[in-house]
Amino acid sequence: MKDIIEGFLKFQNEVYPERADLFKNLANQQNPRTLFISCSDSRLVPELVTQHDPGGLFVIRNAGNIVPSYGPEPGGVSASVEYAVSALKVTDIVICGHSDCGAMTAIATGQNMDQMPAVGHWLRYADSAKIVNEARTHENQRACVASMVRENILAQLSNIKTHPSVHLALREGRLTLHGWVYDIESGRIDALDGTTNQFVSLAENTEVTASLSRPGGG
């Protein structure tokens, strides 16, 4: 904890004074335009990767960047999605997976979850991606995991569309979905092209989205 406390002291004494106006403006309000759903993995920091200041992103992080389908007993993820879409009126939702994901590796390689039953239960929300991935032939384990990461993005995009707030916003043309995969080693992001269902370089295709049409297109 010493390094964390030292980091806070540096923030309080050096960083905060330089950004005092920003934090003053954020003290009583937030207006993020994007809901960013990512893995809890310590190597993926949404604000760093997107170069956003505090207040710029509304972030949900969990093992495997999972969004359970909407149900009669909505949990924390469902509540956060609903708040972001209905109260904050975000215009974009990004579901972002990453390379070397422990959760997706566990699924792809069939790891025994007996000692982590809560994790095992949570990862069942990626079952549809698992089934698709297992039906394919992969060159090696690394390729299998990389494929699982991408299939999971597709599955979670399908799941989030079952949430009433998201369904309504999509129907009204005021929300766009994005599916990203971040490569830790290279810093590259591949984005899902909803028209082809393929992942392409975001740097080379900056306008690509997971939605079949742009906002306003129905």
- What pLDDT does 217 receive? 37
Residues 110 and 138 in one domain: yes
In this structure, are 94 and 144 located in the same domain?
yes
Interior angle at CA 206, CA 155 and CA 37, nearest 5:
35
Do 52 and 1 sit in the same domain of this protein? no
Per-residue pLDDT, 200 = 97
Whether 214 is in a domain gets the answer: no
- The DSSP code sequence of the chain is -HHHHHHHHHIIIIIHHHTHHHHHHHTT----SEEEEEE--TT--HHHHHT--TTSEEEEEETTS--PPP-SS--HHHHHHHIIIIIS--SEEEEEEETT-HHHHHHHTT---TT-HHHHHHHGGGHHHHHHHHTS--SSHHHHHHHHHHHHHHHHHHHHTTSHHHHHHHHTT--EEEEEEE-TTT--EEEEETTTTEEEETTT-TT--SSSS-TT--
For 123-182, how does the pLDDT look when each residue is reduced to its tens digit (9 = 90+)? 999 999 999 999 999 999 999 999 999 999 999 999 999 999 999 999 999 999 999 999
Domain of 11? 1-30
Is the domain of 4 the same as that of 96?
Answer: no
Judgement on whether residues 122 and 143 belong to the same structural domain of the protein: yes
pLDDT, the chain, mean = 94
Confidence of residue 215 (pLDDT cuts 50, 70, 90): very low
Q: Do residues 13 and 107 both lie within one domain? A: no
Are 49 and 112 members of one domain?
Answer: yes
Q: Give the count of domains, the chain.
A: 2
Is residue 11 located within the same domain as residue 59? no
CATH number, domain of 165, equals 3.40.1050.10
Query: Region 196-202: what's the mean pLDDT?
Result: 96
- Claim to verify: residue 54 and residue 93 sit in the same structural domain: yes
207 located within any domain:
no
> Do both 38 and 1 map to the same domain?
no
Geometric angle at alpha carbon 96, from 204 and 213, rounded to 5°: 60
Question: For residue 113, what are the contacts with CB-CB under 8 A and spacing of at least 6?
Answer: 106, 119, 120, 123
> Are both 44 and 108 inside the same structural domain?
yes
Is residue 211 scored above 90 in pLDDT? Answer: no
Q: What is the pLDDT of residues 31-45, one digit of tens each?
A: 999 999 999 999 999
Q: Is a pLDDT exceeding 90 seen at residue 218? A: no
On whether residue 107 sits in a domain, the answer given is: yes
| In contact, 194 and 211? CB cutoff 8 Å | yes
* Shared-domain flag, residues 171 and 189: yes
State mean pLDDT over 186-209.
Answer: 96
Is 174 within a domain? Answer: yes
**Is 206 within a domain?**
no
